Structure 1
Amino acid sequence: MQTIQVTAADVSLYHVAATRLNDASQWWRIAQLNGVTDPDLTWLPSPVPLQIPSVDPTLNSGVPGLTS
């Protein structure tokens, strides 16, 4: 796990997850770890720390328990 600084320029947890976890659909992992419910980051007034979970290669389909 690592901690990064995010700002409104990061736009959303989808973008952060795509960049850091290589899977935008895993935004919920970042949200859950940080107690966030809304993936939108455009409201942030200044940089805030955000914990990023480690990449989990077993989660290759986004949300667990959800199949297409």
Structure 2
Amino acid sequence: MAVQVTAADVSLYHVAAVQLGDATQWWRIAQLNGMTDPDLTVLAAPVFLEMPPVSTVLTTGLPERSA
């Protein structure tokens, strides 16, 4: 699934909170889309980002601390 994001979304933290229910999982969206910076305020135009599925396995947004 892809969602459209703009500079108004501010960061991948916000997108992850809305789409995945956990802001700390922003890194999953970044990894899937070849990004390293969660800042979206630099976007000049809307872009579509692929979303990972909501994880029922991750207990936190941090990969090294997940179950």
Number of matched pairs:
66
TM-score, normalized by length of structure 2? 0.93
Q: CA offset at residue 16 of structure 1?
A: 0.2
TM-score, normalized by length of structure 1? 0.92
Tell me the equivalent position of 2:65: 66
Tell me the equivalent position of 2:9: 10
1:26 aligns with 2:25: yes
Tell me the equivalent position of 2:41: 42
| Structure 1: gaps spanning 5 or more residues | none
- CA distances 1:3-62 after superposition (whole Å, capped 9, x unpaired): 011000000000000000000000000000000000000000010110011100111211
| Structure 2: gaps spanning 5 or more residues | none
**Quick one: percent identity of the two aligned structures?**
64
